[in-house]
């Protein structure tokens, strides 16, 4: 069975755990470096990126996670998790995991419209729009050459990206009933497992 870790230092990790279990995967809450062993992928939830990145450093998870993320291990960050995966983030005093060649702006929607919901077109998930929940969300300001844009708002601001093994969404698929982003991530995980077993049988 596929075993996915969910970083459980702060934020809405429990919601990711329930979606993963609903989809038939094993979900492991991760708070200590030992809990990273035997995982096929990792989700970094929404929450507060300053707190998550500070605790990651304090709990000795930052180094091993940085190594995994840069070594084709599948990772997905939602909202604060996107910030933690970005190479550069505005207003963040702790180092990020730099798994995605993007620059993100934290709290990009300001105080007045800090939370909203909208239907997004996400061609990688099929024709039906994805109902996206944004809560004090970041946006992607710059994307590197290898980064694929999966979704943007009508004004062009980028809100979902993928770069090989790393996926990031500025919104919270774990807070809706639409499991397509979780299934998409599980497909990324499955594709990597296929590559590993092909390499091993050579």
DSSP codes of every residue in 85-148: HEEEETT--S-----EEEEEETTTTTTTT-EEEEEE--GGG-SSPEEEEEES--EEEEE-TTPE
The nearest distance, CB 35 to ligand GLN, in angstroms, is 22
Nearest CB to ligand GLN, comparing residues 40 and 50: 50
Q: Tell me which residues are annotated as active site.
A: 79, 172, 174
Rounded Cα–Cα distance for residues 142 and 156 (Å): 12
The nearest distance, CB 155 to ligand GLN, in angstroms, is 19
Nearest CB to ligand GLN, comparing residues 157 and 164: 157
- Kindly state the helix (H) or strand (E) to which residue 69 belongs, with its residue range: helix 62-69
Q: Give the residues lining the site for ligand GLN (CB under 6 A).
A: 46-49, 79-80, 83, 106-107, 135-136
The nearest distance, CB 72 to ligand GLN, in angstroms, is 25
- The total of other beta-carbon atoms located within 10 Å of residue 97's CB is 26
Do the Cβ atoms of 13 and 7 come closer than 8 Å?
yes
- Residues 6+ away with beta carbon under 8 Å from 145: 101
Nearest CB to ligand GLN, comparing residues 72 and 115: 115
């Amino acid at each position: 069975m596929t075993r996915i870790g969910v970083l459980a230092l702060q934020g809405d990790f429990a919601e990711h755990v329930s979606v993963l279990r609903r989809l038939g995967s094993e979900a492991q809450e991760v708070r200590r470096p030992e809990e990273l062993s035997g995982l096929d992928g990792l989700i970094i939830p929404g929450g507060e990126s300053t707190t998550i990145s500070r605790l990651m450093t304090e709990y000795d998870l930052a180094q091993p996670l940085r190594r995994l993320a840069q070594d084709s291990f599948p990772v997905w960050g939602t909202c604060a998790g996107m910030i933690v995966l970005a190479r550069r983030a505005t207003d963040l005093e702790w180092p990020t995991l730099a798994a995605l060649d993007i620059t993100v702006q934290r709290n990009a929607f300001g105080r007045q419209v800090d939370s909203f919901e909208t239907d997004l077109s996400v061609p990688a998930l099929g024709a039906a729009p994805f109902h996206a929940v944004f809560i004090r969300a970041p946006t992607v300001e710059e994307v590197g050459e290898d980064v694929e844009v999966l979704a943007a708002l009508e004004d062009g601001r980028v809100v979902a990206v993928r770069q090989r093994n790393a996926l990031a969404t500025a919104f919270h698929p774990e807070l809706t009933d639409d499991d397509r982003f979780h299934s998409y991530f599980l497909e990324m995980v499955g594709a990597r497992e296929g590559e590993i077993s092909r390499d091993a049988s050579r």
